Amino acid sequence: MPLSSLSRRHFLGNTASLAAVATLPAWFQAEAAEAPKPRVPLSPNDRPAVALIGCGGMGRADAKNASRFGDIVALCDVDDARLDEAQKQFPQAKRYRDFRECVQHPGLHVVINGTPDHWHTLVNLAAIQAGKDIYSEKPLTLTIDEGLRLVQAVQKAGTVFQTGSQQRSDPRFRLAVELVRNGRIGTLRHVTTSLPSGRHGGPFATAAVPSGFDWNFWQGQAPELPYVPERAHGSFRYWWDYSAGTLTDWGAHHNDIALWGIGELGPIEAEAQALRDPVPGGFSFPSTYLVNYRYANGVTQTCRTVDTEGPAGNVLDPKTSPGQMPNGVLFEGNDGWIFVSRGTISASQPALLTDPLTQKTWSAYVSDDHMGNFFECVRSRKDPICDAEVGHRSVSVCHIGAIALRLGRTVRWSPERQRFPNDREAERWIAREQRKGFGYGMLS
């Protein structure tokens, strides 16, 4: 199983976040104890009806997590084999092959969107039109334009929408960001987000489409191509047609935390380079790359891949060899540094973590249970910790870097206007052409 899939699914359990609090400084534990906790269902009538659309491993993990708070009543996928796997977990749920029919399931309240990245927006828009609240996997969108459309639709409909960037509900990441935003390391100067390398390989041969798998529908808005097993399911993210490699996979997590700590709407500049060219006929997104960002407040950011098969680097020393910083986020200020990843938080001096924040000028939204926070907001109608706007802004950081990588040059971005000023070549990639029959018109 790929590193990204294994560690993300392991991370989903709410007990992981709750246990993490106990390992953090006493002052932070005391604050966490005072924060409201998601309510467990009080009765069968308190359990919303939930549909899972996209029954792969991540979708099924999300549905299992959601089943603590609601009842899984519907399953939808274009692959019968994946529907069969989900049906083993939720035998009473009704099966669907078309998400447009699934969102109309009688009595449905909530949709969990676990589809591949290039389907996220269309499924989410269909669920919004049907009046459902949504928990959607990240990266939230395939393009910046999709995010603009989605945010507008969510705001207009009053949808409770949670992006599955669950690191926002991990107390380690919240602690790191609160310390940074409150000046614990002095003036923030630079952030490094270190991501796993993607897959490198090919060329790949075409094959017969597996029985029960609607390959045409799975491709959706992407270009129609012969079936290649390496394009579908677990490896789809390594193709430009469906995603942007680990830049929009792990990058949607770590760049989200970076943006949270930097406190800006997005960068004003990005330049990128591929560190290894793809094999013709193989995975089309570069497996290793480097992206440098600049923000209006003077902070700079480096987002790069690390060779997950090589040395892990020393988490206690931010000046590790280039490309070898462990998977995670490193905040560097003029008074020290803080590194945070799943299961780890450390600093240049222990007191940076252990000394209480006696005078806070900024406080983070508190959530220690990402799915629980979503269902609590379904009840209260408040915004969850990672709503559509947050998810859109965070993945836009990744999309901006990917566009710079496509063009092989620096691009300039206006976070307020959400455009590339005076750059027609970059503007072209804000949206993508959608294949006939699989664009926004299919929702009419």
In Å, what is the CA distance from 349 to each residue of 24, 189, 336, 428? 15, 17, 7, 46
Tell me which residue of 331, 293, 289 sits closest to 306, measured CA to CA. Answer: 289
pLDDT over 50 (residue 7): no
- Give the separation between CA 30 and CA 33, rounded to whole angstroms: 5
- Tally of residues, the chain: 444
Round the average pLDDT of the chain to a whole number and report it: 92
Tell me which residue of 215, 252, 257, 255 sits closest to 236, measured CA to CA. Answer: 215
Confidence class for position 317, pLDDT limits 50, 70, 90: low
Tell me which residue of 193, 209, 175, 183 sits closest to 78, measured CA to CA. Answer: 209
pLDDT over 50 (residue 19): yes
Helix or strand (DSSP H, E) at 173: helix 171-181
In Å, what is the CA distance from 344 to each residue of 26, 175, 320? 16, 11, 17
CB contact at 8 A, 274 and 289: yes
Q: What is the pLDDT of residues 259-304, one digit of tens each?
A: 999 999 999 999 999 999 999 999 999 999 999 999 999 999 999 9
Q: How many Cα neighbours within 13 Å face the side chain of 403?
A: 28
Confidence class for position 11, pLDDT limits 50, 70, 90: very low
Angle formed by the axes of helices 250-262 and 171-181, nearest 10°: 30
Least confident of 15-29, 45-59, 240-254, 288-302: 15-29
Confidence class for position 22, pLDDT limits 50, 70, 90: low
Domains of the chain, each with CATH number or no CATH? 3-168 (3.40.50.720), 170-361+389-443 (3.30.360.10)
Torsion of CA 309, 315, 320, 325, to 10 degrees: 40
pLDDT over 80 (residue 34): no
pLDDT over 70 (residue 189): yes
Bridge-based pairing of strands 289-294 and 300-306 is antiparallel
pLDDT at residue 444 in the model? 87
pLDDT at residue 5 in the model? 42
In the numeric block, which tokens belong to residue 24? Answer: 């953090």
pLDDT over 70 (residue 35): yes
Tell me which residue of 307, 211, 306, 191 sits closest to 260, measured CA to CA. Answer: 191
- Give the separation between CA 350 and CA 79, rounded to whole angstroms: 50
Q: Three-class SS of residue 235?
A: helix
pLDDT over 70 (residue 4): no
Confidence class for position 320, pLDDT limits 50, 70, 90: low
pLDDT over 50 (residue 313): no
